[in-house]
Chains A and B, each alone.
Chain A
Amino acid sequence: MQEAKIKFDHVTKIFETRSQTITAVKDYSMEIQAGEFISILGPSGCGKSTLIRMLDGIIDTTEGDILIDGVKVNHKGKKMPSSVLRKLGFIFQQPNMLPWYTVRQNVALPLRVFGLKGPEWDNRVEELLEMVGLKEYADAHPNEISGGMLQRAGVIRAMVHDPEILLMDEPFGALDEMTREQMNMELLEIWEKTGKTIIFITHNIEEAVLLSSRVYVMGTNPGRLVETVTLDLPRPRKLSMITQKDFIEYRQLLESYIGEIDLSKIK
């Protein structure tokens, strides 16, 4: 078998706060191949964000290793090297734009930090702005554009340095239903065009089934992997599929793993 693009090898994360010790992620292992679109599904507080933030070098692991392309990337107390971070693009739950920069400057921020200069990168910024319909708002400040547009800017900021892996932490959770559906479809298009590896975090079962090839179901207390479900649904996925029989079956299967909690109602 091919070497995994991303591998979690018995990863544990423990938070020590003044009053308590929280095991946010316990003994988590998974392997993701290059070009896959997978989802991590679970209720609020089950450690989804913690998991993906360890992979993006935002926080340390407590135990276990994370490997990208077979190379261990987590080293206690050390910043993740630039060469690794360049392979990753992180999309936050909130747009997380810097209000003092224009949309264009925000989108180009990773380029500045990674030291990627030149006309080809400038062109890439413009192409991405064009792709998500932000071209004419490129010189606006974030407080001048709508939430949906801000989140689009967040998506292309994560893609601007052409990373091989996109990490998305409930990226469209703050958007209204219709915008979210639209963004999901745009995301699938981007994935089909670019072949990036995508880890998509959500607490929405339908979204997980619609988008991904495999769903990792997490449970709380402690945050851990409960079940892995491979989705044998045709591609390209379409919104109309949500009423089809096998789609509904997958949805019900995942609901049964999650238990009584109706995740779509959790906000």
Chain B
Amino acid sequence: MAQSTPVRRTPKKERDPKRIIAPLVVLAVLYIGLEIFLRVFNVAAYVMPTPTHIIQATISSFHIILPDFLFTLKIICVGFCIAIPAGILLAALFSQFDILVKAMQPVVIWLVITPMITLIPLMTLWLGTDPNLRVIIVIIQATPIICLNTLNGFTHVEREKLELARSVGASKLQTFVSIIFMNALPQVFTGIKLGCIFSTIGAVSADFVSRGQGLGDRIIKFTKYSNFEESYGCIILIALIGITLYTVVEMIEKRIVLWKK
């Protein structure tokens, strides 16, 4: 571990163009490969339309898809943005008391595993049928996973680091902000990234159950009327929302968590 020579270790990797180009190449190969495969073997459109047809159909039907796209985007983003502080604050609260950590950790895990769309029929009874209520599904689907990861970070701090805080007489708040929270940041981000995925799943599955609006609902409609190209287009749009959120979070993480290679 100990190195005596005062030499700076190799600097962090600079932005590597390969990391952007390589996935694009894979995407292009996949696109062309699929296109050729589907045409050569004459695969039926209800199994898998060609990528070109998907894109064409999606663009020409975009005026139909757009309202649903915006609706789902809104549900995911609003729910996700509430779930992040909710998950972190709950974890911060639990971490203040050892008993609460022990008591709540199994409950949180239980909540992570429960598919929250199962609550929709009941929620409709309690709250009515306003589609915007699907935000609640996103929140209760994403909050537990963010909370769980954050809590894990909050409760795993090296003893020496806490002793350092004690040796300078740091207050509880100072210790939390400068040591416990910072120490947990990588795990907080892991939780948030999982939260992206959970939010997307929550929103689309809520569409499936409640119907009437949203990309999930639109997929069912397109499929029912044999517009398979558009169905696939919607699936790709949902994936794009998830990937974009995930990428944004990852970019923020790289800006903040500088100390991890």
A interface residues with partner B (beta carbon < 8 Å):
53, 56-58, 79-82, 85, 88, 90, 92, 94, 96, 98-100, 109-110, 112-114, 133, 137, 140-149, 174-176, 178-179
Q: Closest Cβ of chain A: how far from B53's Cβ, in Å?
A: 50
Docked Cα-Cα span, A148 to B183, in Å, equals 23
- Distance between B161 CB and nearest chain A CB, rounded to angstroms: 7
* Residue B2, interface by CB 8 Å: yes
User: Which residue of B6, B165, B258 is within 8 Å of A148 (Cβ)?
Assistant: B6
Say yes or no: A109 contacts B7, CB within 8 Å. no
Determine if A141 and B259 form an interchain contact, defined as CB atoms under 8 angstroms apart.
yes
Minimum CB–CB distance for A143 against chain B, Å: 6
Q: Does B47 contact A (CB under 8 A)?
A: no
What are some 18 contacts across the A-B interface (CB < 8 A)? A56-B167, A57-B167, A79-B166, A85-B167, A90-B164, A96-B161, A98-B179, A113-B169, A133-B6, A140-B8, A142-B259, A143-B259, A144-B9, A145-B8, A146-B6, A147-B2, A147-B3, A176-B2
Say yes or no: A96 contacts B160, CB within 8 Å. yes
- Contact A148–B2 (Cβ < 8 Å): yes
Q: Is the CB of A58 within 8 A of B167?
A: yes
Q: How many angstroms from the CA of A113 to the CA of B179 in the assembled complex?
A: 12
Partner of A113, one of B3, B8, B12, B170: B170
A143 touches B261 (CB 8 A): yes
CB-CB under 8 A from A145, the residues of chain B are 6, 8-9
A56, A57, A144, A178: most-surrounded residue (chain B CB, <10 A): A144
Q: Is B160 a contact partner of A94 (Cβ separation < 8 A)? A: yes
Q: Which of B5, B182, B258 meets A98, CB within 8 Å?
A: B182
Measured CB to CB, the residues of B under 8 A from A are 1-9, 11-12, 160-161, 163-170, 174, 178-179, 182-183, 185, 257-259, 261
Majority DSSP secondary structure for residues of B touching A: loop
CB of A85 within 8 A of CB of B168, answer yes
Residues of B within 8 A of A85 (CB): 167-169
Docked complex Cα distance between A101 and B259 (Å): 8
* Contact of A146 with B167 at beta-carbon distance under 8 Å, contacts A100-B182, A113-B174, A174-B1 already known: no
Q: How far is the CA of A140 from the CA of B183 in the complex (A)?
A: 18
Query: Inside 8 A of B9's CB, which chain A residues have their CB?
Result: 143-146
Closest Cβ of chain A to B2, distance in Å, is: 3
The CA-CA distance from A174 to B5 in the complex, in Å, is: 14
In the bound complex, what is the Cα–Cα distance between A149 and B258 (angstroms)? 20
Question: Which 4 A/B pairs are nearest by Cβ-Cβ distance?
Answer: A147-B2, A146-B3, A179-B4, A99-B259
| Pick from A80, A109, A137, A175: contact of B4, CB under 8 Å | A175
Q: List residues of chain A with CB within 8 A of the CB of B169.
A: 57, 79-82, 85, 113-114
How far is the CB of A99 from the nearest CB of chain B, in Å?
4
CA distance A178 to B4 in the complex (A): 8
For the complex, give the distance between the alpha carbons of A73 and B170 in Å.
17
Q: Which of B1, B165, B170, B259 contacts A147 (CB 8 A)?
A: B1
Q: Is the CB of B8 within 8 A of A137?
A: yes
Nearest A residue to B166 via CB reads A58
Across the interface, which residues of B come within 8 angstroms of A175, CB to CB?
2, 4
Least distance between A194 CB and chain B CB atoms (Å): 19
Residues of B within 8 A of A56 (CB): 167
B182: A residues at CB distance < 8 A: 98, 100
